[in-house]
Chains A and B, each alone.
Chain A
């Protein structure tokens, strides 16, 4: 599904990713842990095409297609979704309008029929309910004045409605209370399937208790410093990143 090879990327001429390689086959969930500033969010932005994140070497493909040649909206239409570490506020655009516009833009790009207003409302209501989001909140401008946790939930709602194929969760657990974490994890797990894959960026084992990863990677100093099974996350929880910081 997603294949990253020897990826080098810079921000403002400062190298951040320094030869990162990673394979995430369809049907799998991979977790990435790593110290602050290691380049985890940078990786998520490079994969989604944010301006200012310059790829200097290497590449990334999704189902064999060169991901880096596409603009962010084209990547979204191919099914790439990023749950932002810090979701943006969109003043003046009700959440419902925003999500519906996004969904229909994606469908149009894929040559699918757009969803009618009633069809969309039905879908949005259903997903909001399963994530225990008050539907009235969706009438407010997206994320404006929402609490940190509400913004994270709103990311997962968008994910549930857009139904992407490749999901990147960048610290979706931070800012969530214990109940919300459980609800969000259920929402994410509902999207697991043989045709989908996920990259879960987190600092805490707790999220991985709910979203069980197939593989765990340590990202340190711009590259994958270690990979293993779920037990690697437990080990990191006990021992920290010291070992990898020294190696780097």
Chain B
């Protein structure tokens, strides 16, 4: 989250760069050399759109970092929506470190907090629209699930400008037994810099699942930090990156198992074409005493052109005994024999490639639980891979 704050403050000296171990493949410092002016506020509600359109009852639109539209009186009774410094939100500062920090510092954009009430169910959509050219914007948002609450959160990152800097910092808090599925689709401009960081705090018995669909930008980073309490809590941290043109996409995650009996499963698939560049950094830490942890990580990428590149750093850091951990990492090309087979049956070369590539990525999509979002995710992938 430090990068998010450095960006918000536009403290150029604190921006991470090549020399920072966790940012060496996604240098920001070399890219942002001058202060960036704040993007203007939109003067009217944004038109409907984005991936996941129509899939959630409650929809919150943020444009250029500002709250642009939300249900207001029509808000589902399962939800509450606050600014961090109003009384309804104050108590959340205790459990949400980002909220706390924001409250203490009173700088940067306002922090909104959305609460799903105990035992309630909600389908929530966040649209993060960037309609800016040459400016930057920042957004902070907390999502809190009270005990036993269940929610699906659908995020669409919609780039409608150029050369902008978009910085989204999210925090998720899941109380005992809460369940959250987060699916995000990022379509930023090829000239944009886009950073989305999420901190996830879970209580025992909670379940957090995410699927990130990332199309890349001039520099794009999706970072997820998950503190895992064990105690039957379950985490799935999946993602897909598809980079073409000269786009860059970085999926970075850290899952820290802090106590016994936690499970984590991660499957990331990437496709790099043209001069695209994909980065995966996945770290699973099993702290001392976090016995009986079951953690599995897989990253598999296809490189479809000679000038495309994929950098991967899967890490399992295990300080406990009696754990089940496994990871797999492959970077390769499409199977030429399978391609020939598909063409022999009548698929033109491009269609054969698209079919096999989509199938490769499909394994991640199949793990999305929310049915509507799963089909939207499939469409997102197939539109970008040029299949039928």
Contact = CB atoms under 8 A, between A and B. Distances in A.
Interface of A: 48-51, 71-73, 75-77, 81-82, 84, 87-93, 98-99, 101-103, 105-106, 109, 141, 158, 162
Given A101-B355, A105-B351, A76 B346 contact: yes
Nearest to B343: A72
A89 B338 contact: yes
B329 to A, nearest CB: 18
Interface stretch (B68-76, B255-263, B359-367): B359-367
A141 B341 CA distance: 14
A105 B346 CA distance: 6
A147 B195 CA distance: 48
Contacts of A72: 340, 343-344
A92 B362 contact: yes
13 contacts: A50-B340, A50-B344, A51-B336, A77-B346, A81-B344, A89-B338, A90-B338, A90-B359, A91-B359, A91-B360, A92-B363, A93-B359, A141-B359
A90 B348 CA distance: 16
Interface in B343-360: 343-349, 351-352, 355-356, 358-360
Given A105-B348, A105-B351, A90 B342 contact: yes
Interface of B: 335-338, 340-349, 351-352, 355-356, 358-360, 362-363, 388
A106 B346 contact: yes
Given A50-B340, A51-B340, A76-B343, A93 B355 contact: yes
Given A92-B359, A158-B345, 15 more contacts: A50-B344, A72-B344, A73-B344, A73-B349, A76-B345, A81-B344, A88-B337, A88-B338, A88-B340, A88-B341, A90-B342, A93-B355, A101-B351, A101-B388, A103-B346
Contact of A109 (B346, B349, B362): B346
B346 A90 contact: no
Nearest to A75: B344
Contacts of A48: 344
Contact of B342 (A49, A92, A102, A162): A102
User: Which of A49, A82, A89, A90 has the most chain B CB atoms inside 10 A of its CB?
Assistant: A90
A144 B160 CA distance: 42
Contacts of B342: 90, 98, 102
A9 to B, nearest CB: 16
Contacts of A76: 343-346
B363 to A, nearest CB: 6
B338 A73 contact: no
Nearest to A103: B346
A162 B345 contact: yes
Contacts of B351: 73, 101, 105
Contacts of A91: 359-360
A87 B338 CA distance: 9
A98 B351 CA distance: 11
Nearest to B337: A88
Nearest to B358: A92
Contacts of A162: 345-346
A18 to B, nearest CB: 24
A102 B347 contact: yes
A82 B355 CA distance: 20
User: Which of B345, B356, B388 has the most chain A CB atoms inside 10 A of its CB?
Assistant: B345
Contacts of B336: 51
B359 A73 contact: no
Contacts of A71: 343, 348-349
Nearest to A82: B344
